């Protein structure tokens, strides 16, 4: 479409740059904010779904191992503490498998593979302890088993040398693992807080940049676009009222510069048009005028009006000239109605002078005698000449005789084609008007 051509839809490049900066800042703000928010979202998800549950289950695992050590010790040294015996069985057969399953599923979200290997190693070590405990539980079942010194000694020896040291080792490793996981959680929380601070700084900084960019764009638009547009509007309003104000040209390639250039050209064109119209009003039809373009309706109309007025003026001039000539002849006729010779002399003299001819002759047919009818020049006038050489012409003799004999009007000029036999006669009478 023509509206979207570059010459029509051209804007100042600096306006594009300013708005591009604002849009770029907005896009950067959106991208950075989205990135930080997604990071925080992932961190929160990891903390809530893996880190915190991991710490809780590791603490529970530590408590389970500690209680297991206490229950197996009571199994060996307190034969009548059946409650702790039941708790130990329930701990190893129900609580531990459930805890192991939960921790195993949680290790899928851990970042460190070494921590995963470590927790699996703790599971293996604790299961070894469970097998050692089962040996004691099987050897010390009834009261009589506690009375057997050998069984009691072996159980105590196994408890003191195997179960308790290994349990303490597991507890120590669990505490180290818990400390590692707590440190990871603390780092994640600190990173999340830093991301929040960074997000606030980014949003605040970009907001300030957007504000200053918008202010700069507003100031620039006010100075370079709005005020010039108001100036153009004022000029157009004055031109619509018939004024032709001065239009200051500016350098550049912006749309406003093109608008002012177009207004300047329009103003000059209207000035030339008004000057041309004034020349036409003063009857100066030879004044030059160049339309603004091939589609200049007003200029074309003025040229057409000039042509018509010029034709009308020329026709009026011809009519006035003819009427004035007839009036002069009529005046001569009124003054000299009695003397034919004087009348003929004044008529030919007036006609030759009025039409600015070289010479003129009035011929009359002398038919005083029927037997001797001929043509004679009655009056002759030519600047610098007084007498016509020819005094008598017979009817049908030469060009004059033939014209008068035909009783018709002929007008000859130097460009008129004349038969060869009449050439000499025409050269003789070429400056005469025959009627």
pLDDT of residue 426: 45
pLDDT digits over 123-153, tens only? Answer: 899 899 999 888 888 888 888 888 888 888 8
pTM for this model (two decimals): 0.50
**Residue that is last in its domain, among 172, 200, 218:** 218
Residue 134 lies in a domain: yes
Residues 161 and 45 in one domain: yes
Per-residue CA distances from 80 to 76, 140, 142, 146, 359 (Å): 10, 11, 10, 10, 172
Cα 152 from Cα 249, distance rounded (Å): 115
368: three-class secondary structure by DSSP? strand
Beta bridge partners of 381: 360
d(CA 410, CA 412): 7
Give the Cα separation of 232 and 263 in Å (integer): 8
Answer yes or no: do 77 and 189 share one domain: yes
Q: What is the pLDDT of residue 78?
A: 86
Residues 119 and 178 grouped into a single domain: yes
* Closest to 71 measured CA to CA, from 59, 86, 60: 86
Could you say which of 169, 195, 218 is where a domain stops?
Answer: 218
Q: Looking at the structure, do residues 362 and 301 belong to the same domain, yes or no?
A: no
DSSP class per residue in 53-105: HHHHHHHHHHHHHHHHHHHHHHHHH-TT-HHHHHHHHHIIIIIHHHHHHHHHH
The ranges of the chain with pLDDT < 70 are 1-15, 249-256, 285, 292, 336-338, 370, 383-391, 412-435
**Which pLDDT belongs to residue 333?**
76
Residue 295 and residue 343 in one domain: no
Q: Answer yes or no: is 323 within a domain.
A: no
Do residues 200 and 85 share a domain? yes
180 plus 287 within the same structural domain: no
Domain with 267, as residue range(s), is 255-316
pLDDT value, residue 165: 92
Evaluate whether residue 273 is within a structural domain: yes
Domain match, 46 and 151 both? yes
Angstrom distance (rounded) from CA 257 to CA 250:
6
Q: Are residues 210 and 274 in the same domain?
A: no
**Whether 396 and 307 share a structural domain:** no
The pLDDT of residue 5 is: 45
Integer CA distances (angstroms), 225 to 239, 258, 274, 324, 372, in order: 21, 13, 32, 66, 101
Domain count, the chain: 3
How many helices and strands (H and E) does the chain possess? Answer: 14, 2
Q: Tell whether 249 is covered by a domain.
A: no
């Amino acid at each position: 479409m023509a509206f979207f051509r570059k010459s029509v839809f051209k804007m100042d490049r600096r306006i594009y740059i300013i708005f591009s900066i604002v849009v770029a800042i907005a896009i950067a703000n959106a991208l950075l904010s989205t990135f930080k928010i997604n990071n925080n979202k992932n961190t929160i998800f990891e903390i809530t779904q893996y880190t915190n549950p991991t710490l809780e289950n590791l603490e529970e695992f530590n408590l389970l191992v500690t209680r297991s050590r206490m229950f197996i010790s009571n199994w060996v040294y307190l034969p009548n503490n059946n409650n702790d015996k039941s708790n130990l069985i329930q701990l190893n057969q129900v609580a531990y498998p459930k805890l192991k399953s939960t921790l195993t599923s949680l290790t899928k979200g851990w970042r460190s593979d070494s921590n995963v290997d470590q927790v699996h190693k703790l599971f293996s070590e604790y299961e070894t302890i469970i097998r050692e405990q089962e040996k004691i539980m099987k050897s010390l079942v009834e009261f009589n088993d506690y009375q057997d010194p050998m069984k009691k000694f072996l159980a105590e020896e196994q408890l003191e040398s195997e179960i308790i040291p290994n349990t303490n080792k597991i507890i120590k490793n669990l505490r180290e693992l818990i400390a590692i996981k707590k440190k990871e959680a603390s780092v994640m929380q600190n990173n999340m807080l830093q991301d929040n601070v960074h997000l606030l700084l980014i949003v605040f900084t970009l907001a300030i940049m957007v504000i200053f960019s918008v202010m700069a764009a507003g100031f620039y638009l006010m100075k370079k676009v709005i005020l010039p547009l108001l100036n153009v509007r004022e000029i157009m309003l004055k031109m619509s009222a018939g004024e032709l104000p001065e239009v200051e040209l500016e350098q550049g390639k912006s749309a406003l510069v093109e608008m002012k250039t177009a207004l300047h050209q329009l103003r000059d064109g209207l000035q030339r048009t008004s000057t041309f119209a004034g020349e036409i009003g003063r009857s100066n039809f030879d004044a030059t005028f160049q339309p603004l373009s091939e589609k200049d309706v007003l200029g074309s109309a003025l040229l057409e009006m000039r042509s018509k007025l010029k034709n009308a003026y020329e026709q009026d001039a011809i009519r006035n000239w003819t009427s004035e000539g007839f009036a002069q002849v009529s005046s001569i006729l009124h003054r000299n109605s009695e003397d034919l010779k004087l009348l003929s002399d004044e008529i030919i003299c007036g006609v030759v002078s009025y039409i600015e001819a070289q010479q003129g002759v009035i011929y009359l047919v002398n038919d005083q005698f029927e037997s001797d009818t001929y043509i004679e020049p009655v009056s002759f006038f030519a600047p610098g000449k007084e007498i016509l050489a020819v005094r008598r012409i017979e009817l049908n003799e030469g060009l004059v005789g033939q014209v008068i004999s035909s009783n018709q009007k002929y007008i000859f000029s130097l460009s008129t084609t004349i038969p060869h036999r009449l050439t000499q006669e025409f050269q003789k009478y070429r400056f005469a008007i025959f009627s």
